[in-house]
Structure 1
């Protein structure tokens, strides 16, 4: 139906412009098919109720551990569909025509600056909350080429915004994996570290935050919308992409692969596990926060930890190394990561006082495998604070001291200036930003002043200027190189095992005659070096 509509208006400059903008996203063929399925054959228009149903979320059995009631969130999540249609798909009394259908998609998913994406997200959030009965105090000044925002949000409203974005990501990921059928239930993850990050960055005045013991969502403070936007663009730049992913997946996956017999979402009881195991440092909420800072193909791999799948093709359910499973120490670590040539995410759980419950989690993302070197190496990477508050510290571009990994040297008897043995990120040798010793027992965190490789920022609350030594509780390494990197590592390990077995083999013929062996001669010489030997003639 979209094709016939195009032929009727083929001379229209508006049509050519709309199709050109949609084609730049690569989705024009899918949009033609979606319009054909949604539109009325007689009017060649998409009925407004059909378009709203396309974006409808059904989450009656939503699971949540937040103080924000699950019932309240279910009401909120049932309204973004109508908000999207009302804001971005102009309609008349009969429906949406082909040109306005393309324009609405382009407004949500077209190429534009990041601030416009985020403003669109805030507009959707504001209208969704109003329709759900939870109005927010945001104002928008719409102009021809920009949309200025004003007003403020409470921490609870910021939490709703973040959870709405997570729902968008979860839905688009699920639709893509199941070809338009949302078969899995939904259980909201813990994203309190993201909320703390937003509040810490946007709060004004002398508010002192307790990062471990307080429920930040209940704080009676207001955060300026402009500061929230600045925080999002700096800390989680891909947050607004969640809306574009949702709109794209609903039109290009659900509509074109829709099975009328399937409901949009099943109950949460059908979902075996929508979050990572609680024993893992990389929970679903932390993985999602990291995914908001990276691009493909690393984004695709980290999303497998955000939204676990039952798909048998997904092989990224377990980390490459976990100290509680494989044992602590650099040698155990090396035996598991050696040969993996792809992006790796290292997570470290530690605490200043071994008896304290205030543990913090930091991470480092490197875009290449580990190497046994006496110097820093690497091309790109990032540092993360994951608990209790989230921050992303990307490489500054001033230096390339991204990764340091050095084992005990072999074949060397004495070294007047030995290099430190362990793993480090940033800084310089002997003055590393993060350094973990060879036993994985202690980790040293230094102030960002010693480091020109990564951006400035504390790696845990109240870090201070002096170096801090912490007790390491857990270390994890996740491979983000996909199936190919895993297969290459498996081939490498098989080859090394084969070489090891060959070196262990003993040629028994060499030791068949003890009297002629060099060992026998050496033992005789040591016992009596002056003994007269009869020469055989």
Structure 2
């Protein structure tokens, strides 16, 4: 075998270096097992066809969440496996030897910068597009991962590229959780595509982001600006490809003889279940692309575990189900000590149109801790999101730490010369918040980013000007992302609160003496005859 024979012979410096680079990613044992199982004992090589079949992404007719349905996407997936092998795994003497196999893996999945990983992803996409017969305006100056890329992308190209990454991640995630075959589910990622469009091209005000035909847009996105946008907005997009390669190699090792190449996309996620919720599969995936941490793993777990619906344990509060208002909100999130994702949808009139047509938009906030009843700002970190119709993320700026403000009515009625506002806010300062939700959850106020030094600048809603925007709230959702431990802690907290409430309601008569000696009787006597005590004293 390739791995065993290499240990019997003198190890060359090149082999030692390649094995060291593969070991740095933690995949060297997997690569050895895969090569030993699929290589020919006589030639000690893997055939190109076997490796292409390993990466072949089989699928049935995709299920589209959006109305954007490019006919070329199924053909793009058909050529994904062959494009990967042709680009990185060079065949020598009728097959791919151990060194060639290591070179290919290190070249496509080795440790490298996010920009180099995006270059590799674009190279795979361009070759798959060429195999389908579609023209691509991407030009690569060399075969190196860090080479310069020239050209541009269309919005339809960005849509196909994002769906290709989603399909690879879908294959890895769903193959672990389901045995049955199902159709590939493609979420609506138009908010990500429009984010790339407005960030990479000079778009005038005539572009209607609420009703836009992405496939019909002829706007050229320079590849340099697109890479800058991807590094900022979705730096973990190339992880989909790395996870796909490792997932397919691992499944080939564990599968029975002859079954490793017949794996198909599985799972059962319906587009209808998530349409009524603010956190759809596409929006959850966009939020997870921002960074690598345990919170994003929770988002992906909720996204791929099955239908995102109201029975999901991560959904702590939904205004349409639990009722609007700060008190209803508080009763559902109190005691949850973990990261929280808050989504708010609202309606505002489109100031650029004369007909006063209302436009629905969605914004979000990610906090790293639960809510506390305070009259000051608190928190350690968080992100603001413009989610729909355009996706943007605004991370902490490092200048201030006014992340979260959540203040209820004080339990004791005391005089306050300058009462603090009752509601929930994020960023800015008290009475001048960047985002403020009133006590009744009836109205949200969005202010210009100039008032906020906590989060990075940028518009939360399209066509946002300098003046504050007040809009009626349609829906509020809160998703707990602290895992099972945070949920169990909240359940225990609520049980304790219920126990204390029941204890306060009960009156133990044994603790009181006779009625004649009780304070209650003395008070009642004084109220019935205030002068009685004085006359008896005289």
TM-score, with structure 2 as normaliser: 0.92
How far, CA to CA, are the matches of 2:482 and 2:17 in structure 1?
39
Structure 1 counterpart of 2:106:
106
Structure 1 counterpart of 2:318:
322
Q: Secondary structure at the match of 1:453?
A: coil
Change (3 A) 1:480 1:257: farther
Structure 2 counterpart of 1:86:
86
Q: How does 1:85-234 map to 2 (within 5 A)?
A: 85-142=85-142, 146-177=146-177, 183-204=181-202, 206=204, 208-234=206-232
Coordinate RMSD, CA, aligned: 2.5
Higher mean alpha-carbon deviation, 495-504 vs 337-346, is at 495-504
Structure 1 counterpart of 2:353:
none
Q: How does 1:234-313 map to 2 (within 5 A)?
A: 234-257=232-255, 263-265=262-264, 271-273=268-270, 277-309=274-306
For residues 181-217 of structure 1, the C-alpha deviation after alignment (integer angstroms, 9 at most, x for no partner) is 6744321111110111111112236473111122132
Q: Is the 8 A contact 1:434 1:446 kept in 2?
A: yes
For residues 345-386 of structure 1, the C-alpha deviation after alignment (integer angstroms, 9 at most, x for no partner) is 000001225995411000001111111112211111111011
Q: How does 1:510-521 map to 2 (within 5 A)?
A: 510=511, 513-521=514-522
For residues 117-152 of structure 1, the C-alpha deviation after alignment (integer angstroms, 9 at most, x for no partner) is 000000000000111121211100126672110111
Q: Is the 8 A contact 2:347 2:359 kept in 1?
A: yes
Q: Secondary structure at the match of 1:142?
A: coil
For residues 367-425 of structure 1, the C-alpha deviation after alignment (integer angstroms, 9 at most, x for no partner) is 11111112211111111011011001111111111111111122351111211111111
Structure 1 counterpart of 2:388:
387
How far, CA to CA, are the matches of 1:207 and 1:412 in structure 2?
51
2:341 corresponds, among 338, 345, 350, to 345
How far, CA to CA, are the matches of 2:285 and 2:186 in structure 1?
12
Change (3 A) 1:317 1:72: farther
Verify: 1:442 aligned to 2:443, yes or no: yes
Q: Displacement of 1:273 after TM fit?
A: 2.6
Unaligned runs of 5+ in 1: none
For residues 321-366 of structure 1, the C-alpha deviation after alignment (integer angstroms, 9 at most, x for no partner) is 1111111111111111111111110000012259954110000011
TM-score, with structure 1 as normaliser: 0.92
How far, CA to CA, are the matches of 2:477 and 2:66 in structure 1?
27
How far, CA to CA, are the matches of 1:433 and 1:132 in structure 2?
47
Higher mean alpha-carbon deviation, 104-113 vs 525-534, is at 525-534
How far, CA to CA, are the matches of 2:399 and 2:104 in structure 1?
42
Q: Is the 8 A contact 1:116 1:146 kept in 2?
A: yes
Q: Is the 8 A contact 1:40 1:46 kept in 2?
A: yes
Change (3 A) 1:299 1:108: farther
How far, CA to CA, are the matches of 2:408 and 2:376 in structure 1?
12
Change (3 A) 1:70 1:368: same
Report how many aligned residue pairs link the two structures: 528
Structure 2 counterpart of 1:336:
332
Q: Is the 8 A contact 2:60 2:182 kept in 1?
A: no
Higher mean alpha-carbon deviation, 318-327 vs 278-287, is at 318-327
Higher mean alpha-carbon deviation, 232-241 vs 112-121, is at 232-241
How far, CA to CA, are the matches of 1:490 and 1:254 in structure 2?
42
Q: Secondary structure at the match of 2:435?
A: strand
For residues 87-123 of structure 1, the C-alpha deviation after alignment (integer angstroms, 9 at most, x for no partner) is 1112124211112212222222221111100000000
Q: Secondary structure at the match of 1:427?
A: strand
How far, CA to CA, are the matches of 1:70 and 1:182 in structure 2?
26
Q: Secondary structure at the match of 1:352?
A: strand
How far, CA to CA, are the matches of 2:143 and 2:131 in structure 1?
24
Q: Secondary structure at the match of 1:358?
A: strand
Q: Is the 8 A contact 1:189 1:275 kept in 2?
A: no
Q: Is the 8 A contact 1:364 1:382 kept in 2?
A: yes
Change (3 A) 1:44 1:212: same
Q: Displacement of 1:529 after TM fit?
A: 2.8
Change (3 A) 1:13 1:310: farther
Structure 1 counterpart of 2:486:
485
How far, CA to CA, are the matches of 1:241 and 1:258 in structure 2?
27
Q: Is the 8 A contact 1:405 1:421 kept in 2?
A: yes
Q: Displacement of 1:245 after TM fit?
A: 1.7
Change (3 A) 1:56 1:275: farther
Q: Secondary structure at the match of 2:53?
A: helix
How far, CA to CA, are the matches of 2:65 and 2:175 in structure 1?
25
Unaligned runs of 5+ in 2: 351-355
Q: Secondary structure at the match of 2:371?
A: coil
